[in-house]
Amino acid sequence: MGIKVIENYEDLLDKTIVFIDLGDYSDMLTIVTRDRYVYMSEFNVDGLGDVEPNSLNEFEVVEEIYSNSWLRKKLVDFNIKMDVQAYRKEAEKIRKAELKEHEIEIEMRERAELKRLKMKYEDTEWKRFGWGDWYGG
């Protein structure tokens, strides 16, 4: 895809930075390294005036680059090209796989809970006193 995202600013250590942009009208910091890694962070200001950086994840970085034509052109100058449609398709495939995995986990938990409840309640008072046939159990 041509873009590699750094999600933790500490990963910038030992990298050669070739481009830094702190937007004039935004709180977005963009850093590009020589080996074509991109780090983006936005700054949140709380009510007390304290500034807290918030590193963007890969999806947020791609969306930010896609929505900012000036930044996209700048990245092309550093030979960083991106196919947003391909990225979105890949992200959707990953999201669907994670969703399927989550559904399987939920089903396994529900089956275990059902088994536990069956073991707990199958030997009820009705069966102990011979009322199972009358009750339907």
Domain that holds residue 112: 83-121
pTM of the model: 0.59
Q: For 67-84, how does the pLDDT look when each residue is reduced to its tens digit (9 = 90+)?
A: 888 888 888 887 877 777
pLDDT at residue 25, as a whole number: 67
Got the DSSP string for 2-32? --EEE-SGGGGTT--EEEEEE-TTSSEEEEE
Indicate whether 44 and 63 sit together in one domain: yes
Whole-angstrom Cα distance, residue 119 to residue 113?
10
Question: What's the structural domain count of the chain?
Answer: 2
Indicate whether 70 and 18 sit together in one domain: yes
Q: Of all helices (H) and strands (E), which one includes residue 37?
A: strand 37-45
Q: For 32-64, how does the pLDDT look when each residue is reduced to its tens digit (9 = 90+)?
A: 888 888 999 988 777 777 777 889 988 888 888
